[in-house]
Structure 1
């Protein structure tokens, strides 16, 4: 597949076809990681990097514990656990 570089304001841009977006598994608004290699440029879907604070912010501290958590909390030590 061959695509061309075009002027976009004061920058340059390439357009990715719907077929290419589908093959990459991305959609409009998604982010791509760009890596410059000796052979050329590699584009791959960017992985979302989670911060611990963001994950904790999604937790509901008032949510009930799962049913098996109570049994786990009441179990006798099985090894050399420190209490």
Structure 2
């Protein structure tokens, strides 16, 4: 169950047993997501280790 109010965006899906309404989800662009990142943070050590691992299968690098 969800609460909808005037002005809420909804997705409507017509099904054999009725209509299903669901809150509309925002679609983020890559620019929106990158804008949320703090570029001044340090790169975690465990992630640095992953970037130095050599491919072991048929990964494309």
TM-score (norm 2): 0.58
**Which structure 1 residue ranges, 5 or more long, are not aligned?**
1-22
2:3 to 26, 30, 34: 26
CA–CA separation in structure 1 for the residues paired with 2:37 and 2:21: 33
**Which stretch of structure 1 is more off in the superposition, 65-74 or 55-64?**
65-74
Check 1:36–1:65 CA distance in 2 against 1; reply closer, same or farther (3 A cut). Answer: same
Cα deviation per residue 1:48-69 (whole Å; 9 max; x = unaligned)?
1111110011011111112211
Match of 1:59 in 2: 37
Match of 1:72 in 2: 50
Q: Which has the higher contact order (CA 8 A, sep 6+)?
A: 2
Structure (1/2) with the larger strand percentage? 1
CA–CA separation in structure 1 for the residues paired with 2:60 and 2:18: 55
| Poorly superposed stretches of 4+, deviation over 6 Å | none
CA RMSD in angstroms comes to 3.0
Aligned pairs, number? 60
State the SS of the aligned residue for 2:21. Answer: strand
The structure number with the bigger radius of gyration is 1
